[in-house]
Amino acid sequence: MNKKLKIVLAVAILSGTSLYAADSLIGTKADPVVTKSYVDSKIAQITYNGNNSNTSDLEARIKAHEALISALSQQIVALEEAKSTFEVVNVPMGSTIYGKQSSEIIVRSGEGTVVATSAGGIQDVTDGVDLLGGTKAPNNNLLIIPREDGRGILADKPMVVMVRGGYTIS
């Protein structure tokens, strides 16, 4: 081939590719050519919304939630301890201690009479009997209130009882 022909073909090929590249929307509004610093600034703007307010807001919310979790954990521990320990309670003469469902009562001193309902009395798990209404509550026996329906012990004399679970005195 002729040297001039080779040069003409090379120029024609380069011109064609240049025209194709110029026509294919590179660097237009639809596909702009941008610098790395521009891209980095846009990423920073999206990430931090122009400042660190999103980050500090999230950190504040996380701290508030951590404080709430800590407080609730302490309440759970306190409830578990209260559930597993007996409370010593003085019941004045003439008053009645009513147990909530599953409450446990031990009469330590004094005298009391069982208050029952039509559904039944109080279970004496030490002796394995059901104490009906009007029965003397034995001292130093574990008594269980099965339901919160008005069952309890009326103090004939001032009583000291140990209670695990909920109760009311009236």
Q: How many CB atoms lie within 10 A of CB 153?
A: 28
- All domains of the chain in start order, with CATH: 3-81 (no CATH), 87-169 (2.60.120.1030)
Distance set, CA 61 to CA 47, 48, 55, 69, 108 (Å): 18, 17, 10, 12, 51
Q: Hey, CA dihedral for 34, 35, 37, 39, is it positive or negative?
A: positive
Does 19 have pLDDT greater than 70? no
CB 98 within 8 A of CB 150: yes
Give the predicted TM-score (pTM) of the model.
Answer: 0.55
pLDDT recorded at residue 15? 75
Q: Return the pLDDT at 92.
A: 97
Answer whether 90's CB lies under 8 Å from 159's CB. Answer: yes
Taking the CA atoms of residue 121, residue 125, residue 128 and residue 133 in that order, the dihedral angle to the nearest 10 degrees is -20
What local confidence, expressed as pLDDT, does residue 136 receive? 96
Quote the CA–CA distance of 94 and 3 in Å, as a whole number: 128
Tens of pLDDT along 29-59?
A: 666 777 788 888 888 777 765 555 667 788 8
pLDDT score of 65 more than 60 = yes
Q: Which of 45-59, 89-103, 118-132 has the lowest mean pLDDT?
A: 45-59
